[in-house]
Amino acid sequence: MGRLRSRLPWVVGAVAVALVAAAALLLLQPAQSSSQLDAARERWETRPFANYRLKLVRETNRGSCEQEVRAADERAGEGLRNNCGQPATWTVTRLFNWIAELERTPARCFPGPARCACLATARTEVRYDPALGFPAEIHYEWRKGPNLIGGAYWRSLLDQSFSGCNKAETGGPVLVRVSLTPEP
């Protein structure tokens, strides 16, 4: 037991270094993605049409749904199809803004900032249309795990006040396939 206690600071230190390295990698990823996003936005701005039909198919572990909307001058107009249970107000500009937000927040605290017992880490990959620049495929995934460097996690273990990081119904991989049809 004494030998284990003497090694505990080394183990905790190694875990902390590993977490810092992982966080650094997450922070470096958005810089590369941001330049791809900026280039895609520039291609989109030079498109030869203002009106288009946008179709999104969202796939998760729970199933898939579709939304289709007409957009005019980057304003969502008539909703043509929607079985996703969310408003169908997408435009390409809103997709760009959503991607930027996903990439800007690679980690979030749960259940909230005041009590950061769990840390949700996010990963985003986007494939842009090579000609027009709109996001043709958006894949994002976030997973929750214990916040080992936060005191709230360790306190919740001691007082058994938190049921765990993997109990919530949210998270996991999401794939959004986007197709676009120019309209007169």
* pLDDT above 70 for 159: yes
Q: Pick the residue with more confidence: 97 or 23?
A: 97
pLDDT in tens, 84-93: 988 889 999 9
SS3 per-residue string spanning the chain: CHHHHHHHHHHHHHHHHHHHHHHHHHHHHHHHHHHHHHHHHHHHHCCCCCEEEEEEEEEECCEEEEEEEEEECCEEEEEEEECCCCCCCCCHHHHHHHHHHHHHCCEEEEEECCEEEEEEEEEEEEEECCCCCCEEEEEEEEEEEECCCCHHHHHHHHHCCCCCCCCCCCCEEEEEEEEEEEEC
What mean pLDDT comes out for the span 10-18? Answer: 47
pLDDT for position 167: 56
Percent of the chain with pLDDT over 90: 42
**Rounded distance between C-alpha atoms, residue 72 and residue 171, angstroms:** 33
Domain ranges of the chain: 2-183
Comparing 23-32, 60-69, 73-82, 171-180, the range with the smallest average pLDDT is 23-32
Q: Pick the residue with more confidence: 36 or 31?
A: 36
Name the pTM for this structure: 0.70
